[in-house]
Amino acid sequence: MPALPMRSRLSEDAAGDVAIIQRMAQGDESALGALHDRWSDGVHALVLRIVRDEAEAEEVVEAVFWQGWQQAGRYAGERGTPGAWLLAIARSRALDRLRTIRRRRDDVTADDSVFANEPAIGDPLSDLNTSERAGRVVAALETLPPEQRMVLELAYFEGLSQTEIADQLAQPLGTIKTRARLALRKLRDTLSVLREELAS
C-alpha cells in the first residue's frame, strides 16, 4: 500500500491517528480497536448532539467506525486529519439518522462518500490536541452574534436547509443566507487568528 501523505503540521494525536488509519488500510483489525479507543467518545458526543437519543446514537457510532474500517484505504491525508474525516462521517451518518427519525422511515441512505469528489477539508486546528481544539472553537463561536451562531448550529447540528431555517426562525430567506455567509467566514477567520496566535 502506498504511504499516506502526511500534513506538514500535525499534533501528536493526529499523527498517531494517521498511523492507525494506515494500519487499518493494511487490514490490521486491532487498529480499528485503537481508533475506537481514541475517538469513540468524541464521535459519540457529536452523534448524540445531533440525534438526541442514546440508543440511536450508539447504533450510529458503531456504523461510523465500521465505515471508517471499510474506507480506510480511501483516506487521503491531504484532505484533512483523520479526526476531521471521522467526524465528517459521523455528522453525515447522524444527520441521515436524524432525517430518518423525522420522517419515521426505516430506510437509511448512508452517505459513504464524505470526501469523494469534494475539495479537501482544511482543518484549521490540525496542530491542536482534542481538548485544546474544543476550547478554541467554543471561544470562536462565542465571538459570533447569537443570531449568526444560531444559523450555524441549525445547519450543522440539525441539518436544516436554509429554507427550513428561515421558516423556523421566521426570518426572510435572504437574511438567513447573509447570516450563514457572515457567520462561517467569521468563524473561519477567528479560528485562523487563534491558530496564528498559538503559533507565535
Partner 1 sequence: MTTPLSHDEAFAMLPELALDLLSPDDAATLMAFVQTSPACQAELASLRGAAGAMASAVSPAPMGDAKKRTMRDRLVSRAVASTRADATGADDGGVEPSAATVPIAPPAATTSPLRLEPRDVLPEKHEPGAPDRRRRPAWQVLPWMAAAASIGIALAQLRTTSELTAERDAARAALTSATASTTQLSAQLASRDSLVAAMTGAQVSVVELASTAKLPPGARMFWDRLTNRWTLITHDLQPAQAGRTYQLWLVTAKAEKISAGTFNTDAQGRAVVQATYALAEADLAAIAITEEPEGGSPQPTGTILVAGTPAPTR
Q: Mask of contacts with partner 1, 49-68, x by CB under 8 A?
A: x--------xx-xxx-xx--
From candidates 5, 6, 9, 37, binder to partner 1 by CB under 8 A: 37
Contact flag: residue 25 with partner 1 (CB under 8 A): no
First to last CA, the chain: 37
Contact flag: residue 100 with partner 1 (CB under 8 A): no
The minimum distance between CB 2 and partner 1, in angstroms, equals 19
The minimum distance between CB 101 and partner 1, in angstroms, equals 15
Stretch that binds partner 1, among 1-9, 15-23, 98-106, 128-136 (CB under 8 A): 128-136
* Contact (Cβ atoms closer than 8 angstroms) between residue 77 and residue 18: yes
Contact flag: residue 2 with partner 1 (CB under 8 A): no
Contact flag: residue 40 with partner 1 (CB under 8 A): yes
Task: Report 133-152 residues binding partner 1 (CB under 8 A).
Answer: 133-134, 136-138, 140-141, 145-150, 152
Contact flag: residue 9 with partner 1 (CB under 8 A): no
Counting every residue, how long is the chain? 200
The minimum distance between CB 57 and partner 1, in angstroms, equals 8
Q: Is 120 left (phi over 0), alpha (psi -120 to 50) or beta?
A: beta
The minimum distance between CB 4 and partner 1, in angstroms, equals 18
Task: Report 150-169 residues binding partner 1 (CB under 8 A).
Answer: 150, 152-159, 161-162, 165, 168-169
Contact flag: residue 36 with partner 1 (CB under 8 A): yes
